[in-house]
Structure 1
Amino acid sequence: MQHIVYLLLVSFGALSILGIFHFTIFLQQKDKAFRNYSFYLLLMSVFNLVRLSDERLGSYYSLSVYTVGTWDPVLANFAFLMYVNFLGVILNINAADKFFYKGWRFIKIFVPTFLLFYLVLRIVGNPLQIADTVISVASFGCMGFGIVMGFRLLALRKEKFYQLIIVGTLISVLGVLTGLIFNTFIYKSSTAFGGLYFLEISMLIESVFLSAALGYRLKVAYQEKEKFQLALLEETQKRVTCGANLPIAAKGTGD
């Protein structure tokens, strides 16, 4: 089990640092893409912390398998919701895009409500035995809308910024699906460590591509700001020049 501990520690450290880094950029630029992506990374780092505390790993501060099984899907789905919010920002979803805008607003209420309901059910011992159904509905709802937004993302694949997002997203989706398949059909447990390898490795690779994409977005924003400032400076210089020449022109007319 030592190897999975090392992987979780590396992933926790990397995602935490990247999450804080992107959030500091958000504070400077006020670009919600950085904010939502930082929330996604930080939630996944907390997810890793919970998995590191699993009693099966013999941690100093251990959480029971039931507790890990409770928080695992809640954190994962909240993180995925932040990723959907990230996509909503970079795709410029607004009120003019009625289907996407209404769907996005609905999913931002629907998913947290179901996750909270699931959490309450698990805390009280799942007396109705419907907790798994509730979390499945939340997961499929968020995933379904994420897939729909993914098709819109693919339509923009010719632009470099979106190319990096697409590659990173596909790697992450492939890792998550592979991990789910392994845990479901081979290990027969949603919290098995076998499938976690694929999730963690794919997330680390994804973070490289998405960080590069956001770096490119920041570079473009700076270039546009410089162009605007240069155009403003040129316009100011023209006005100053015209103002300086005006008395000379007036004097010539009077003579």
Structure 2
Amino acid sequence: MSVPSRSFRRRRFLWPVLGLVVAASAVAGVAAARSSPAPPRPVCCKSPPVTSGIEDVPRRWEHAVARRDARAAWALLTPEAQRRYGSVDGLRAALAGLTPGHGGPATWRLIDTLTQGSHTPSAFLYLLIEDGTLRPRGAVVVHSMADGAHDGRVDPGVADTVRIREPAAHATVSGRPRMRTATGSPPAYVAVQAGGQTHGSVGAIRGADGMDSPFDEALKPGPTLVVAVDVEGGDHFAYGSVPVTVR
């Protein structure tokens, strides 16, 4: 499956802005309930992408890597990823570095999408987020035609380069929270909380100074993982995250 071209229009689940009232950067141990994000709206007169056929692909990849089953993992890779590793043996040598971090129960969550709608080459960014602490433990991009078929292929080479400056510990931040990101364009944001994910309703206008004006009413109080997502070169995901507690 080819990586979506630069001409693809990005469907972001959240406007590229975010404002939060936050305190204490440590995340408490609150269970994160499983939830599926709302599908994006149709693009270019096409129906929305369908992810039903690929929702288990990140989990299958995780299990294959954990078992060091190079052949099963190889079968799940995109052709481009296969070329990078060269062979099953080349992938086998890299499996230890691809294994998600250890911890408690975790859920693969769909964070962002590149698509032109159903039946088009599409890419879906999934993060493995620990249920109890909201700690991100891994990431993959699943490529698919987004039509419900079981055609998902994994690219595990997700850049972790969108850095969010964490609020000072114990500091209550209001008005314009200092959550600068080291990226050339304003990223999209997703707020992950115990009850699920917030898409499309939390945010504010990013100013020329790189700061976000607030719009915090849509987030409930409690531990939150803020994920910022950028698309490098128009077709490659990069992400970063910061744990906060909403007051």
TM-score range, shorter chain: under 0.3
TM-score (norm 1): 0.24
As a proportion of its length, which structure holds more helix?
A: 1
As a proportion of its length, which structure holds more strand?
A: 2
Larger radius of gyration: 1
